[in-house]
Structure 1
Amino acid sequence: MDINGAIALVTGGGSGLGAATARRLAGQGARVAVMDRSADAASAVAANIGGLALAADVTDSDAVGAAFTEVAEKLGAAPRILVSCAGIGTASRILPRDGALTIDLFERTVRVNLIGTFILLNHAARAMATLEPVDADGARGVIINTASVAYQDGQIGQAAYAASKGGVAALTLPAARELARFGIRVMTIAPGLFETAMSAGLPPEARTALEAGLPFPSRMGRPDEYAMLVQQIVENPLLNGEVIRIDSAVRLAPK
């Protein structure tokens, strides 16, 4: 699908992977709506790229629906590209030393990372299905979700996070198969260790230890490298129903 002139919606677009994706898509000529829980963060990125800022929580279906309506009203049509980068990283053992239950954390993590992704996919599919095809294949849109290498390599303390991202990965193929008749592709990216606000706070020795475990290149990924893969997925019509790891060939150790 041609990015130039297309309308794109990027969630978690106020920082990190989402912000890099919004900038790259805008640089390729897309009209980008930047959605984030933080109105200030969304506005800052949108102002930088000439995009539309949207403040919404991905777990709130009504708010997400209102965001899609606003995109159509202000940009002229529903988005043909959805990139879901919104999510939370959590760490907690199933049985911590104090013996406390961790059910609430598990539920919250799944609610944001998995159910939030599905809410976006649901609204996007409904909106994209009303659009006219853009090519001879009948393409109407592309939905790109974000999992994590933790869905396969979950470490101790990542039960909630790995399960939520595993759900996103497992959603990919059945969603792609169902939406194929509408000309809507569904893909998932599973990032490894990337430069984010979370990793920026690591002590130098911790960062060095993490990077030593990355085969090649032995460094954390840059957000624009994630965004580059988003661009390639959008532009390559045969990429559908698959999870792509982007991780320097790392396989996470148990802890």
Structure 2
Amino acid sequence: MQLKDRTFIVSGGSSGLGLATTLIFLQNGANVSILDLNPPPSDSSTSIDSGRILFTKTNVSSTESLQAAVKNTLKWTQETNKPISGAICCAGIGTAAVSLPRQDPSATHDNLKYMDMALFDRTLAINLRGTVDLIRLTIPHMALNEPWGPDGERGIVIVVSSVAAYEGQVGQLAYSASKGAVRSIVLPLARELGQKAGIRAMGIAPGVFQTGMTVPPKKKTPAPAKKEGAESKPKGSAGSRASLNTEMIQYPTRMGRGEEFARLVKAIIENPMLNGGVIRLDGAVRMPSRL
């Protein structure tokens, strides 16, 4: 399916992998409806063509918010005559919590600490429910598109899983559960939507990529007191540490870049035989139990 003169919804399209996807869509003549809590950056370095972007402030864990965003997008497509042809579900959060918290030495059966289910529920609400909710709200509209090309394509759904779906680490119970579930919805969607409506479904499982989750913004904090004779070795974020661990990322031994993810999204859209699968994009990374 072509990108030119079509509209693609990108949840989480204002930053990270979603922003990289937005940019490659714009470079190839597509319109992009961004669903995010924050607007895309306005600095010139991103080369954003604001005339082909519609931003709707959206909480993907809220059905009402998603419904409003899709309705806003439909109105825009009627004005531009560029139909909704894809939903790229990049919105997500990374959370960390162990299932068995550290207990106080004096712990008894009456005062034990338990894993916080509120964090678990929030992770699934955004990463899994938000993905499924966006898909189910957009595919009926894609099914009304005029068939395109010799295969009669009408649209595509691309979800973002993670290598954590395969190799979840200590503390990633909620995150791995959500990304494992996202991985598992791809084939059922492809089996239903392909012959019924000419809509393909694919997933991408990124490894360690340069995003806000792996490379948090630098904070200006006072330097800790250095013990005499001690060597300073800042620990850094998990993602930055992973990028230097050659036992994890085989080649290339670095974090992935947003444009590399976006190029795969583009290739998936343009290749009609890519359907029903989840592609690992990870430099042959295999995650250890913990960093």
Q: TM-score, normalised on structure 2? A: 0.82
Q: How much has 1:81 moved relative to structure 2?
A: 1.5
Q: What are the residue-to-residue correspondences of 1:1-255 with 2, within 5 Å? A: 1-38=1-38, 41-42=39-40, 44=42, 48-50=48-50, 51-76=53-78, 78-98=83-103, 99-180=113-194, 181-201=196-216, 203=234, 207-208=240-241, 210-212=243-245, 213-255=248-290
Q: How much has 1:150 moved relative to structure 2?
A: 0.2
Counterpart AA for 1:145:
V
Q: How much has 1:108 moved relative to structure 2?
A: 1.1
**Gap change, CA 1:74 and 1:43, over 3 Å in 2:** farther
CA distance in 2, matches of 1:208, 1:58: 30
CA distance in 2, matches of 1:122, 1:57: 16
Indicate the SS of the match to 2:98: coil
Counterpart AA for 2:206:
P
Q: Which runs of no fewer than 5 residues in structure 2 stay unpaired? A: 104-112, 219-233
> Whose helix fraction is larger, Structure 1's or Structure 2's?
1
Indicate the SS of the match to 1:163: helix
Indicate the SS of the match to 2:244: helix
Q: TM-score, normalised on structure 1? A: 0.93
Counterpart AA for 2:211:
T
Indicate the SS of the match to 2:33: strand
Aligned residues of 2:6 and 2:31 also touching (Cα < 8 A): yes
Comparing 91-100 with 234-243, greater Cα deviation is found at 91-100
**Gap change, CA 1:43 and 1:222, over 3 Å in 2:** closer
Aligned residues of 1:194 and 1:222 also touching (Cα < 8 A): yes
In the alignment of these two chains, the number of paired residues is 253
CA distance in 1, matches of 2:236, 2:13: 30
Indicate the SS of the match to 1:198: coil
Alignment deviations for residues 25-82 of structure 1 (CA, whole Å, 9 cap, x no partner):
11011011111012xx247489922211111111111221221121121132541021
Which has the larger Rg? 2
